[in-house]
Amino acid sequence: MANLGFWPLLVAIAITLGVALQRQLNKAAQPLRLELADKGEHLLAQADVPVIAKRQIRYMLDTAFHSRFVLLIAIVVMPVIAVYIIIAPKRFIGSIKNNEIQNSELRALHHDLMELHDKITMVNHPLLWLILQIDMLIFIATAVLIAGALRGYLPNRAIQDSIMKFIESQRMKMQPPWRRDAHPA
């Protein structure tokens, strides 16, 4: 029998700590889930919210506890979405506009709901969430640039600066808090 040393013990400690940390994260996220449920039910009761947006709200409410399969599918489907953006950008943008809520107060509440869902998803599955964020950044940014180049327009300097600020803000969100404090935006 080979001498494995402390590796099995280290693996057992890492798994135990990971499970304990995940349990604490889930406990800390419970108020976020309750807030998501309250805001989601409020939005679903509003007549001004389009049917497509209501479907999205129901999805967010349904996946507040379990979204591993959805995240895995999203990671796999992201290249297909990128191709769709390249082939039919107007149709893609149109589908997003059809989802928009006209009432500014309800639209802000919907945006808050999406952010809550993102936080809950990140807590539920931190590694998959990180992989999805990187996947989206790579594929969607590339698709937007290719779609623009194919149609003969590329972002002007102001839009390029806005895109870079957005990318940098997303990168800062993915850094641990102690790194964010050392590098203010």
Q: How far apart are CA 81 and CA 12, in angstroms?
A: 40
Is the model's pLDDT at 174 over the cut of 80? no
Comparing 57-61, 104-108, 113-117, 168-172, which segment has the lowest mean pLDDT? Answer: 168-172
* Local structure of residue 99 (DSSP, 8 states): T
Average pLDDT, the chain: 81
Cα distance from N-terminal residue to C-terminal residue, the chain: 54
Is the model's pLDDT at 141 over the cut of 80? yes
Shortest CA distance to 160 belongs to which of 180, 183, 144, 136? 144
> Which of 12-26, 32-46, 69-83 has the largest mean confidence?
32-46
Q: Token pair 């990671």 is at which residue? A: 75
Is the model's pLDDT at 181 over the cut of 60? no
What is the arithmetic mean of pLDDT over 44-53? Answer: 88
* Local structure of residue 116 (DSSP, 8 states): H
Q: Which residue has the higher pLDDT, 156 or 123?
A: 123
Is the model's pLDDT at 45 over the cut of 90? yes
Q: Is 152 left (phi over 0), alpha (psi -120 to 50) or beta?
A: left
> What is the predicted pLDDT for the residue at 156?
63
Contact assessment for residue 140 and residue 82, using Cβ atoms and an 8 Å cutoff: yes
Q: Which residue has the higher pLDDT, 62 or 2?
A: 62
> What is the predicted pLDDT for the residue at 176?
60
> What is the predicted pLDDT for the residue at 43?
92
Is the model's pLDDT at 185 over the cut of 60? no
Is the model's pLDDT at 88 over the cut of 60? yes
Under 8 Å CB-to-CB from 131, ≥6 apart: which residues?
Answer: 75
Contact assessment for residue 118 and residue 148, using Cβ atoms and an 8 Å cutoff: no
Q: Which residue has the higher pLDDT, 118 or 183?
A: 118
Reading the block at residue 61, the tokens are: 């409410």
pTM of the model: 0.66
Is the model's pLDDT at 99 over the cut of 70? no
Is the model's pLDDT at 86 over the cut of 90? no
